[in-house]
Chains A and B, each alone.
Chain A
Amino acid sequence: MAEMWINMGPQHPMTHGLWNLRIKVDGETIVDAEPVVGYLHRGIEKLAEARTYTQVIPITDRLCYGASLAWSHLYCTAAEDLMGVEVPERAEYLRVAALEMQRIASHLMWLAAYAADLGAMIGFIYSMRDREVFIDLLQALTGSRITYNYPRIGGVAHDAPPDFARDSLRACDYMEKKLKEYEDLYEGSKVFMLRNEGVGILSKEDAMNLGITGPSLRGSGVKCDVRKDMPYSVYPEMDFEAASHPDGDCYSRYRVRMDEMYQSCKIIRQAVTKMPAGKWRVVAPRNGPVGTGIGRVEDPRGEGMMYIVGDGTDRPYRLKIRSPIFVSVSAAPKLLVGYKVADVVAIMGGLDMCIGETDR
């Protein structure tokens, strides 16, 4: 049969955001693929050059609507590295607790979208319901629900509200119970398992070479996590494991994200109980020095990185943002070739696409 190119997107239920996947098919089999991104490019790196260091924090929130706190935290760590600012210990614990809540909320949003993609509509509703628990906690902590504007250069914006620890512990207990329910729901579903197991296999070597990071890399059996490998904040004090699964298929990537939610609950528990009293913010200088700073964190989607160049004024000279999904999606040909058109949804959905950070 003649080969032909098909556009999936920009308006397609699979895309979750605005991007286009061009696939070349021979009958039902994919022989080549080419993702097209850029529809949501807002020029955040350029915008940052015209704003003071503090004014950049709210725009970095807009990088990813699913995990905005991770990005503003990443920007703050990069700016702190540039300015040499020491963050008070209480602020670090508050950040870790908030980051892990954000990770669970982000993974639940992924699970919601993924389940709906694969025909388990009830999964969408369950996940969104339980995500609300963590959104509420973050709202109590930061005052907002989606874009938090919470970390600051040199700490965090507010202290925790009263009973924050108690509510967090309750939320973790609730979540762990619900995660077991999810496992029964999905792993007991023949349709879900058939569309996941053995689909989109990515070897360890390919995953590392193609720059895939985060849960998708750990789903290929590489046990590396920036929180463990190059620890930042107070992660060295926390007892947790970097979840990984050896198979490298879609099920493996699903399993890693589920395990990560258990580990996140574990970290939140430790963070809120060990949290010391004291200051939660120090005043950072208005002007950054001449020099460079890097921030490298484990974003819910992979390795987030920022490179910031200061020229002695109150504005960053250059801010470079590394988006994990921008690099992961470039591996689409490797992931898709040889599978059927019907598998595209599962394979690309398993990467946890977020177009806000991809296009910046």
Chain B
Amino acid sequence: MVDGGRGEQRREGIERPPSLISESPEERVIKALLEAFPTAVTDFKKLRQGVLRARIERRDLFKACMMLRDQQGFEHLSMISAVEYDTRFEVVYHITSYQNRLLVELITTTPKEDPSVDSISSIWGGANWQEREAYDLMGVKFNNHPKLERILLPSDYLYHPLRKDFKG
């Protein structure tokens, strides 16, 4: 229904060159990310209608988020998840665009010895507490965060309980 609605708008609208008509919002985001960060962005995939996935190097994460907000209309950061694997942590950002009805899953990897990524709480205020939560439960540090303190657990707690080596 959503797709049909948007398709109709495009047909009724003013005439545009054929390349623009065939370009879906997903393709536009992929193209913009690849043009801006040709080496940092890998593994693009359209998961389903309106949902994209991409991996990005952690050094370019902040700039990519900035670009997504300012140029691609992603107004809302839905969720930040930290996942522990054998040799690395993955921080997964789900970023939403209300106007284009898109969801981008941006995955960045950080090594176990130095689990840190740049904080994006200056881009989306909603990231502030979610980054604190990821730090609290998983021990991933966020550089330049305004107040990186424990949030759900007491401030004198010693462990990061969502790590796999923590056994209740």
Contacts and interface: CB of A to CB of B under 8 A. Distances in A.
Dominant secondary structure of chain A at its interface with chain B: mixed
Nearest to B82: A320
A206 B125 CA distance: 9
Nearest to B79: A322
B152 A209 contact: no
A38 B128 CA distance: 16
A210 B79 contact: no
B124 interface: yes
B83 A230 contact: no
Interface in B81-124: 81-84, 92, 94, 98, 101, 103, 105, 124
Interface in A187-234: 206, 208-213, 222, 224, 228-231
A211 B124 contact: yes
Contact of A229 (B2, B75, B83, B94): B2
Nearest to B166: A46
Nearest to B98: A224
Contact of B79 (A228, A231, A318, A320): A320
B158 to A, nearest CB: 15
Nearest to A213: B76
A303 B103 CA distance: 13
Nearest to A43: B161
Given A37-B151, A38-B153, A309-B83, A294 B105 contact: yes
Interface in A287-320: 294, 296, 303, 305, 307, 309, 317-318, 320
Interface string B1-16: 1100000000000000
B161 to A, nearest CB: 6
Contacts of A46: 161-162, 168
A307 B161 contact: no
Interface stretch (A67-75, A135-143, A145-153, A325-333): A325-333
Given A305-B79, A309-B83, A330 B126 contact: yes
Given A228-B2, A231-B1, A294-B94, A322 B78 contact: yes
A327 B78 CA distance: 9
* B interface, size bucket: 35 or more
B137 interface: yes
Nearest to A45: B162
Contacts of B161: 43, 46
A360 B98 CA distance: 27
Contact of A294 (B51, B83, B130, B168): B51
A92 interface: no
B1 A236 contact: yes
A305 B50 contact: no
B7 to A, nearest CB: 15
Nearest to A303: B78
A41 B101 CA distance: 33
Interface string A38-55: 100101011000000000
Nearest to A317: B83
Contacts of B98: 208, 222, 224, 229
Given A229-B2, A230-B101, A360-B152, A296 B78 contact: yes
A344 B124 CA distance: 25
B62 interface: no
A307 B152 contact: no
Contacts of A224: 98
B129 interface: yes
A80 interface: no
Which residue among A38, A222, A236 has the maximum number of chain B CB atoms within 10 Å of its CB?
A: A38
B126 A327 contact: yes
From A212, A307, A334, residue with most partner B Cβ within 10 Å? A307
Interface string A132-174: 0000000000000000000000000000000000000000000
Contacts of B33: none
Interface string B129-147: 1100100010000000000
Given A46-B161, A330-B128, A331-B126, 12 more contacts: A37-B152, A41-B152, A46-B162, A209-B124, A210-B126, A211-B130, A213-B76, A294-B51, A317-B83, A318-B83, A320-B83, A322-B78
10 contacts: A41-B153, A209-B75, A209-B124, A213-B76, A230-B51, A236-B1, A294-B51, A318-B84, A322-B130, A359-B152
Interface of A: 37-38, 41, 43, 45-46, 206, 208-213, 222, 224, 228-231, 236, 294, 296, 303, 305, 307, 309, 317-318, 320, 322, 326-327, 330-331, 334, 359-360
